[in-house]
Amino acid sequence: MDDIEFTAEDLARGQALFRIPCEFVLGVVAIDGLPNDRRPEIAFAGRSNVGKSSLINALTGRKTLARVSVTPGRTRELNFFTLGAFTPEGGGAYLVDMPGYGYAKVSRSAVKGWTRLIEDYLKGRRELKRVFMLIDARHGLKANDLETMKLMDEAAASYQGVLTKADKPKQSELEAVIAKTQAALAKHPAAHPQLLVTSAREGAGIPELRATIAALLPNDVER
């Protein structure tokens, strides 16, 4: 995180992008249900209970845009939300909330179905600009995170690590997780080398994540 420098202009653009209210558009349960309007897509992935819904709500300034649940596997489809100046005539982008992996309380058939949906979505999706892979700062990378990273490498889907719940561990523990996670990401060809560190509860890292997202999109998306 220390080697990432954001200018005032970067942060302002990120703020402008998320100043426009995000709204739910549709939930996709099969690959043939994906939008075909060619708007850019920014996706969020992570293990169940990694804090994905809380982070999306913090990013968008909406308390209930993405539902927060203590039940692993609540998100069971690809949920698409508007991002930026989204109009029927074109413009804007999609924010995509992907199903959590590492499910604890769902059937094997459900896990298999969601896994297939994720695989199909990642492969050859031109609109997908980056997947932000959320990693719990208390635990670091787990086996199912590494499996997902391998899947994204194979699909050549660009992804970037984002530590969540950075307010939970002690500073020394957090620094150790950051170093270990950065070293692991550096070994994966599709992974962006820079790791973002966030806390949805305290707002830490949220402006920087917004700026990172804005930099991936056309200049007119936020207007």
Question: pTM higher than 0.85, yes or no?
Answer: yes
90-104, 147-161, 173-187: segment of lowest average pLDDT: 90-104
Task: Say if domain 8-215 classifies as CATH 3.40.50.300.
Answer: yes
Contacts of 2 (CB under 8 A, 6+ apart): none
d(CA 170, CA 172): 6
pLDDT band, residue 71 (cuts 50/70/90): very low
**Predicted confidence (pLDDT) at residue 75 exceeds the cutoff of 90:** no
Going from N- to C-terminal start, the domains of the chain cover: 8-215
Strand-by-strand arrangement of the 24-28 sheet? 24-28, 78-83, 93-97, 41-46, 128-136, 159-164, 196-197
**Mean pLDDT value of segment 198-208:** 97
Mean pLDDT of 78-100: 90
pLDDT at site 65: 79
